Amino acid sequence: MMAEKLRKIFSTVAPGTPLYDGLENILRARTGGLIVVGDTPEVMQIVKGGFRLDAEFSPAALYELAKMDGAIILSSGTDRILHANVTLAPDPDIPSRETGLRHSTAERVSKMTGQLVIAISQRRSVITVYSGHTRYVLRDIGMVLAKANQALQTMSNYRDALVKALANLTALEFIEEATLVDVCRVLQRYELMRRAWDEVTDYIAELGSEGRLVKIQADEVVGGVWEEVLFVAMDYIPDGGQAEAERLMRSIAEWAFDEVLELPSLSRALTQNSGTALESSMSPRGYRALSKISRLPISVIQNVVAGFGSLKAIRSATVEELDEIEGIGEIRARAVREGLARLRDQVVRNLVM
């Protein structure tokens, strides 16, 4: 996953920002350029010569000023051009992996000051950004868009696999044949989809305004999935609490990719190393099934689960027994019974088909 520092960089230089338009103008003109964002005391200490402008930023003005050999200093918000045609004199003892004078200066200035520094190669037509010890070469937008669409398709495929795993688990729950491996497959499919989502999000950040359509499609793919998988975890982890379920999902998110592919690892995490075999039968508490009943608040769902302890017991409860639960009432009690009955009929019918 992309570092947060890079995402912050893209918020400044991604397509759709005025600075990006100016950088593109310089790149097309092949004039080259060196731009520092921020006039902090650390930056101004190494600035020599040039002249002070303090003028409103515009892409055209940036392009014209870049025709001079010196560096340009922008305000931290990139809304003003503060200095132009300046010479930067960073500490030469700061190590740099760059060979060209412009790029090595940019890297040293950024390492020395911690500010965002942009070097535009006159010969290679490449924009390189530096922020502290972070270095990134901005890629062609067409290439990034192609990679984003490819990642989006991968995420969609993982979503389809997750939906099938959830449907299978629901059907098995209602016929009381769910096993630990069925639950682990859901967690696995979700984590694979989430990692693909992380990759798409990185591309969206780099695309800026060009990534709006990709973002809309990605949001549609992942919509509502996290909540359902959270309920799955709440149904099966030993203590059944939301906080513990969220901790489990955050923990899995930090695993190495190969570990996510191993169902035994997922089973140990889910059962908190209880030694439960993957083929063992599992009984859900009922959080996820109850969440599918419309207009049933989570507080009421929690009360029902606490009162009966399992989906099987909830399904067997009478209207009168459900009515005794705090926050239910007769109308909701009937809605719970009828809703679970409809859900069972639907999933079992699909299982038969």
Backbone dihedral angles phi then psi of residue 141, each to the nearest 5 degrees: -60, -40
280 and 154 within one domain: yes
**Per-residue model confidence (pLDDT) at position 2:** 52
Residues 80 and 178 in one domain: no
Predicted local distance difference test score (pLDDT) of residue 1? 45
- Which burial class, exposed, middle or buried, applies to 113 when counting CB atoms under 10 A from its CB (0-12, 13-18, 19+)? buried
Tens-digit pLDDT profile for residues 207-257: 999 999 999 999 999 988 999 999 999 999 998 789 999 999 999 999 999
In three-state form (DSSP H/G/I as H, E/B as E, the rest C), the secondary structure along the chain is: CCCHHHHHHHHHHCCCCHHHHHHHHHHHHCCCEEEEECCCHHHHCCEECCEEEEEECCHHHHHHHCCCCCEEEECCCCCEEEEEEEEECCCCCCCCCCCCHHHHHHHHHHHHHCCEEEEECCCCCCEEEEECCEEEECCCHHHHHHHHHHHHHHHHHHHHHHHHHHHHHHHHHHCCCCEHHHHHHHHHHHHHHHHHHHHHHHHHHHHHHHHHHHHHHHHHHHCCHHHHHHHHHHHHCCCCCHHHHHHHHHHHHCCCHHHHCCHHHHHHHHCCCCCCCCCCECCCCCHHHHHCCCCCCHHHHHHHHHHHCCHHHHHHCCHHHHHCCCCCHHHHHHHHHHHHHHHHHHHHHHHHC
Do 217 and 155 share a structural domain? yes
pLDDT digits (tens, 9 = 90+) for 29-60: 888 999 999 999 999 999 999 999 999 999 99
Domain count for the chain: 3
Domain shared by 206 and 256, yes or no: yes
| Same-domain check for residues 14 and 89 | yes
Query: How do 47-48 and 80-88 pair as beta strands?
Result: antiparallel
131 with 265, same domain: the answer is no
Same-domain status, 296 and 230: no
CATH number at 314 reads: 1.10.150.20
Domain containing residue 107: CATH number: 3.40.1700.10
pTM for the model: 0.86
pLDDT tens-digit series, residues 154-200: 999 999 999 999 999 999 999 999 999 999 999 999 999 999 999 99
Model pLDDT for residues 64-87, shown as the tens digit of each residue: 999 998 999 999 999 999 999 999
Query: Residues 72, 183: one domain?
Result: no
Round the CA-based radius of gyration of the chain to a whole number and report it. 28
Q: How many CA atoms lie within 13 A of 90 on its CB side?
A: 24
Residue 37 is part of which domain span? 4-138
Quick check: 282 pLDDT over 50? Answer: yes
- 275 plus 290 within the same structural domain: no
Q: 240 with 324, same domain?
A: no
- Domain identity same for 341 and 225: no
- In this structure, are 259 and 329 located in the same domain? no
Six-digit token pair at 258? 């190969």
Counting residues of the chain whose pLDDT is more than 90, the rounded percentage is 86
Q: Is the CB of residue 13 less than 8 Å from the CB of residue 20? A: yes
Domain stop point among 82, 116, 138? 138
